[in-house]
């Protein structure tokens, strides 16, 4: 009898938990778009924060800003040291596309370097704080070699491949001169793309950009002197300027893009995972290897 009552109790608790999760999911789904529903005409705000690994959500937000007729101009707040090349280029293309139909004003936070600067280049205007770290126009690849360590412990590695370059960058053998030359060609090509993008976006001669495109960083004050940014100012200054460029009278209202809508099952799973994690004290350590970034 005790076991039966325990099972009944567990079932009731689990049912209440599911009901609670469903309610949380519904409320989240309804309130997620609140910023877009209540806002009148104003300035859109899109944020790029942290390492750039996947640009799809940022691109979605920029697309929403482009479609929304109430958004008269957009502020792109960038606080990123860069990241992976491909996603940075995709966001760059989305910013460039948006700037063709609406004014885009970039506001740089503490750092907007490398890929963070790359995606800022096509904006209508760029604001930076005097102490913002920006620039770092360059590309890199990182490799590790543990061949010596393996020799010490008596381990050997064997590779079967279809071409001489297929295992380039392998950590278990030394890279030869031909492989280095091949990778340098890839780096030089990508670097050239970066230089041309900055020259086009900032309306500067390619030769002038190439002179400073050696990976060095600049303060916002230095970047202004080099014409990499247009003005020194805060996020509020950028918002005010976007409002002026968008023809808005008075202080512009900020319009944030709607949060990505999720399926009910996703909300249930996330809610359950969060609560189970709190109960069990679960943790997660995630590391990513960036083979080519800026």
| Catalytic residue list | 114, 166
- Distance between CA 249 and CA 251 in Å, rounded? 7
User: Which element (helix H / strand E) includes 239?
Assistant: helix 235-245
**Contact between 230 and 127 (Cβ < 8 Å):** yes
What DSSP state is assigned to residue 100?
Answer: T
Q: Which residues of 30-46 are buried (b: 16+ CB within 10 A; e: fewer)?
A: eeeeeebeebebbbbbb
Among 142, 133, 141, 138, smallest CA distance to 193 is for 138
Query: Exposed, middle or buried by CB within 10 Å (0-12, 13-18, 19+), for 29?
Result: middle
Cβ neighbours of residue 73 closer than 8 Å, sequence gap 6 or more: 43, 44, 102, 103, 104, 105, 242, 243, 245, 246, 248, 252
Q: What share of the chain is helix, strand, coil (3-state, %, to 5)?
A: 50, 15, 35
Query: Exposed, middle or buried by CB within 10 Å (0-12, 13-18, 19+), for 1?
Result: exposed
**Contact between 94 and 64 (Cβ < 8 Å):** no
SS3 170: coil
Cβ neighbours of residue 285 closer than 8 Å, sequence gap 6 or more: none
């Amino acid at each position: 009898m005790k076991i039966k009552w325990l099972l009944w109790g567990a079932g009731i608790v689990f049912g209440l938990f599911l009901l609670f999760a469903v309610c949380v999911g519904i409320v989240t789904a309804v309130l997620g778009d609140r910023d877009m529903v209540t806002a009148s005409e104003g300035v859109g705000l899109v944020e790029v924060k942290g390492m750039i690994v996947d640009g799809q959500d940022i691109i979605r937000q920029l697309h929403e800003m482009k479609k929304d007729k109430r958004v008269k101009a957009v502020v792109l707040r960038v606080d990123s040291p860069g990241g992976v090349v491909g996603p940075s280029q995709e966001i760059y293309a989305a910013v460039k596309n948006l700037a063709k139909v609406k004014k885009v004003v970039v506001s740089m936070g503490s750092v907007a370097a490398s890929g963070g600067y790359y995606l800022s280049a096509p904006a209508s205007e760029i604001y930076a704080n005097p102490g913002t770290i920006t620039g770092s126009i360059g590309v890199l690849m990182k490799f590790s070699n543990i061949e010596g360590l393996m020799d010490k412990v008596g381990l050997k590695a064997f590779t079967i491949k279809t071409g001489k370059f297929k295992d380039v960058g392998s950590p278990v053998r030394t890279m030869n001169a031909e492989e280095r030359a091949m990778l340098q060609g890839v780096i030089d090509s990508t670097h050239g793309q970066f230089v041309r993008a900055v020259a086009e976006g900032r309306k500067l001669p390619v030769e002038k950009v190439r002179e400073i495109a050696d990976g060095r960083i600049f303060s916002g004050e230095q970047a202004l002197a080099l014409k990499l940014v247009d003005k020194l100012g805060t996020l509020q200054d950028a918002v005010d300027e976007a409002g002026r460029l968008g023809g808005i009278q008075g202080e512009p209202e900020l319009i944030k893009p709607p949060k990505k809508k999720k399926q009910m099952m996703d909300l249930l799973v996330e809610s359950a995972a969060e609560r189970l994690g709190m109960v069990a004290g679960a943790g997660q350590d995630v590391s990513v290897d960036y083979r080519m970034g800026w």
